Amino acid sequence: QLVMSNRRLPCLDTYLDKALIYLWPRFKTVFDMYIQSLYQCDAKMLWVDGTHPHHIVRCYMEFTASLIQLNAECGDGQLDMSLKRLRLAVDDLLVRFAEKFATQKLKHLFLLNNCDMAISILKEAGEEAKELRRYFEEKLESNLVSFVDELLMEYFGDLIKFVKNHISEDLISYTECPNIADVEPVVKNFAVKWRTALELMHNEVVTCCSNFVSGMAILKAAMAQLLNDYNRLSECVKMIPGGSSLNRNLVSITSISYEIRKYSRTL
């Protein structure tokens, strides 16, 4: 109909209008059934114990990307609205899947991997999918930040807790005034285990991320945050009474940076 309209050939308009009148209600009925099936399905039965992208989400993304491309020239507002409803249904299913994981870290990793897969498919759909792609990019960023927090808490928990509880971002004021007894076990524990913990964290991210680029982004964010938090701890040690006695236990920022660069090169 669009092609004929552009060529100024209106002879089949009546026929095509009637075809659309017959087809659209049936399409909407099937689409609504699809949406209802997502809300009503048993997430426990469909859940797969793994953090890689779920096959239902992949089907949804490929289906959506196809419809977006087909609708590019038509600009049908009804279809746009149906796609938004479908996205909400898939969001709901993703949350129900994520709730099956035992830890917050795995939950965020699962959501992150699914968002990453969604973005990859939508990139192939071109500019028409940019609005939906931006939505999943924001979700990916949010889950990446949360995953990095959980990751650092697992491998460097005492450092992260101490910095959050005692030291402000500006390194000038304390949220809680620390003393040598508070900081000593944190400094000594980090000095013993930091290299091993860094290696384990690197190996976990490389193994569990479904996309190499996302894995690299996670590692960069985690290592930058770790470096920042340890720098805040080092500055705190210098400022508290008796802190100089811990100087021999402090790991230099240069040493940590060098180790981080080694992992960056392997990426």
- Span 122-137, average pLDDT: 90
Question: How far apart (Å, rounded) are the C-alpha atoms in residues 101 and 104?
Answer: 7
Provide the angle, in degrees to the nearest 10, between the axes of the packed helices 180-208 and 212-239: 170
Whole-number pLDDT of residue 62: 95
Sorting pLDDT into bands at 50, 70 and 90, what band is 238? confident
Question: How far apart (Å, rounded) are the C-alpha atoms in residues 24 and 243?
Answer: 74
Question: How much is the CA Rg of the chain, to the nearest whole Å?
Answer: 26
Place of tokens 């965020």: 108
Question: How far apart (Å, rounded) are the C-alpha atoms in residues 259 and 230?
Answer: 14
Indicate the range of 81-90, 125-134, 234-243 predicted with least confidence: 234-243
Q: What is the per-residue pLDDT across 57-68, written as a single tens digit (0 to 9) for each?
A: 999 999 999 999
- Span 150-160, average pLDDT: 93
Question: From the centroid of its chain, how far is CA 61?
Answer: 16
Question: How far apart (Å, rounded) are the C-alpha atoms in residues 212 and 214?
Answer: 6
Question: How far apart (Å, rounded) are the C-alpha atoms in residues 8 and 3?
Answer: 9
User: Domains of the chain by range and CATH?
Assistant: 1-144 (no CATH), 145-264 (1.20.1280)
Structure-model confidence comparison of residues 261 and 110, the more confident one: 110
Q: Is it the case that residue 174 has pLDDT exceeding 70?
A: no
Question: How far apart (Å, rounded) are the C-alpha atoms in residues 173 and 155?
Answer: 26
Whole-number pLDDT of residue 64: 93
Question: How far apart (Å, rounded) are the C-alpha atoms in residues 100 and 43?
Answer: 9
Residue 240 to residues 169, 186, 233, Cα–Cα distance (Å): 17, 14, 11
Q: Is it the case that residue 171 has pLDDT exceeding 60?
A: no
Structure-model confidence comparison of residues 166 and 256, the more confident one: 256
Whole-number pLDDT of residue 177: 64
Residue 130 CB coordination number (10 Å): 14
The residue among 161, 158, 51 whose CA lies nearest residue 106 is 51
